[in-house]
Each structure stands twice: as structure tokens, then as C-alpha cells.
Amino acid sequence: LSAKLTEVLRKRFTSTNEDTFPGFIATLISGRVANYFNCNGINFIIDSASTSSAIAISSAITSLKQHDLDYVITGGVDSNLTPSVLHGFKSWGLLSDQNTPLSKEANGFCLGEGAALFVLTTYKNALINNQKILAELNDFSFYNDPHTSITTPNQKAYQKAQNNLYN
């Protein structure tokens, strides 16, 4: 049985190589991107669901403020819409069946795949290198309320995050 199963799996799946292997271990993806763009310095993956991009940008800002890096490529990618993921969200009653997640009558949210990457540097570096400044990010703030559901927005948590940022 074991030999037959092995043969079936070999025929069904492609062989792994240097280009396919990062798909199995997410942390290798950042290394491949860094190599492709000839970047040096640290590279890593942050996986914290819907806040991953925000945490990655916050981490980038911290590294720039501490002068650990001169430039940072940061952002996020989500391409995890598999049938099992959609089924899980639907079974929890979280997905909208109306495709109107921002209306007052919304009964859930809509999942999507997307990507956004940013190249960040310090204001000083941008001026020195005569680079066009498209936006300025000074800081980020987060707050998690462990006493509510992970799927429930919490007004007090938002207020605490804003207070942490502006105080």
C-alpha cells in the first residue's frame, strides 16, 4: 500500500525545487524576494491575519526610526481563498451573502485576495536622495481587547489605540 500511495502522490504533485519550495514554508518567501531585488538586511514574514500588513508597516517604521535600515520594502499579500477557508468563514456566519459589507444592512463581510507593498525610508534619506515623497508615516498604534471575540470590532479598543497614538 505504501509504495502504491507514494507512486500516486509522485504523479499527482510536481517535484520540488528552489523555486517551488518557498510555497511550503512561508518564511522563505521573504528571502526569495530579497534575493530577487538584491536587498540585504533582515527579511521576515509576519502572519497575524487581517492585521499582518499594518504590523509589518509598524515594524518597518520602528526599524527606520532605530536606524537599523535605510530603506524597507513592506506590506502584505493575501491569497488564501481556498474552499476550506471560505467554508470555515461561512460556517461561522461571517461571510455576507449580499455582497454589501459596507451597507447598514450588511450581514457579514466579503473576502478578497490582494497585495500592497511600500518602499519606505526616512524623511532625511528621501531629501538627501532627491526622492519624491508621496506620504509621511510617523507612527502606528494597536490595541487588542482580550475580553471580546476575535471577530467582533470593539469601540473601546479603537479608542485606546487612538489615545496611545496621539498621547
Neighbouring CB atoms inside 10 A of 121's CB total: 18
Full-model pTM = 0.71
Counting Cα atoms < 13 Å in the Cβ hemisphere of 142 gives 13
Give the pLDDT mean for 78-83: 79
How do residues 14-44 score in pLDDT, each as one tens digit?
677 766 666 667 778 888 888 888 988 888 9
How do residues 122-141 score in pLDDT, each as one tens digit?
999 999 999 999 999 887 77
- Could you tell me if 107 and 97 are in contact, meaning their C-beta atoms sit under 8 angstroms apart? yes
Residue 98 has pLDDT above 80, yes or no: no
Measure the CA–CA gap between 40 and 118, rounded to whole angstroms: 17
Q: How far is CA 155 from the centre of its chain?
A: 23
Residue 87 has pLDDT above 70, yes or no: yes
Measure the CA–CA gap between 145 and 128, rounded to whole angstroms: 42
The label of the residue with cell 502504491 reads 4
